[in-house]
Amino acid sequence: MSENGTITPETQIKELSEKLAEETERLLILMGAYEKQEKELVSTKAEIEVLEKEIVEREIEKESLEALLTEKDARIRDLEMKASKSGKQVEHLEPELQKMEEKFAREKDRLGKVFSIAEELDNDLRLAVVELQTRDEWYMAHMSLFEDLNKAIKVRYEMIEAAAEAERQSQHMGRAITERMDEMVEARAAEMTLSEASEIEEEASGEVSVSADSATDEAEAEDEWNWSESVLTGVMEKNGITDRDAFIEFAKAYDMDGNQYLKGSELGAAAADYVAKDEPAEEEPAEETAAEEEPAEESTEEDASSGPEVTWRSSGDSSADQ
């Protein structure tokens, strides 16, 4: 500024330079403060992120702890339930325990008795072994006597077998003679059948009865057969025939003159063939019975021939059995 109060350009420049310097300093200070604030902001943001992560982790830990607490509560409840059940079971099982203790005491007593019996049996066994050894020694000293006794027993059974064989042969011959006589009697009876039937017909010639079937069929009404009831009855009795209808049907084939009247001779011939027809069926079981009796006799002979054998044990066998 000049003396007359005017401001010169140099003064203005100087003032402006000073102001610029001041503003520059202020700006630098603000810039430093800004940078400092920016750094603090960055650090604050980092802290915020860390804190947020910690919050998330804490939430996770909180949830896990809550789950653990829930599980622990459930376990505690289960344990309490089990404890209560166990207490009740103990109350119910105490009487059973007493019973089991009583049973155990009884079984213990029984086991003691069994053990004492086993000891007695062991002592008896030892005594029996000593007795067997003594018996074997006695047997060895008297062996010849027992051998002679065995021979005598064998001779006795041989004599019994010979007597039984002679008796069987005698019975067999008797049966053969009886069978032969029966065959001769049957042959003679068969020869006499025809003549006896003729005599019966002559005696009852006036007693003729007509036997007709009562069937309604016209064909059966035309085939009516006649015979003498007395002759028929006599022939059936002589030959031992019991089935009347079957014999009549069989005798119809012996109507030689075709007059549908069965005479005594025709009935006699039919009876002979009727009986002869039935005899083979009856003889076969008899033959089978005879065939079965022969093996039975052979087995009896074998049993008799074998006889009981007397076997004497030596001291070596008795010691092996022990």
DSSP state of 313: -
Query: Can you read off the two tokens belonging to residue 288?
Result: 């089978």
pLDDT digits (tens, 9 = 90+) for 83-117: 888 888 888 888 888 888 898 989 988 888 898 89
Q: Distances from the Cα of 205 to the Cαs of 195, 229, 231, 260, 296, in angstroms? A: 15, 11, 9, 16, 55
- Please report the pLDDT score of residue 134 as a whole number: 87
pLDDT digits (tens, 9 = 90+) for 140-153: 887 777 778 888 88
76 has a pLDDT exceeding 80 = yes
DSSP state of 252: G
What's the pTM?
Answer: 0.24
Confidence of residue 322 (pLDDT cuts 50, 70, 90): very low
Minimum mean pLDDT range among 176-185, 232-241, 244-253, 259-268: 176-185
Domain residue extents for the chain? 14-126, 158-306
Query: Can you read off the two tokens belonging to residue 226?
Result: 């006649």
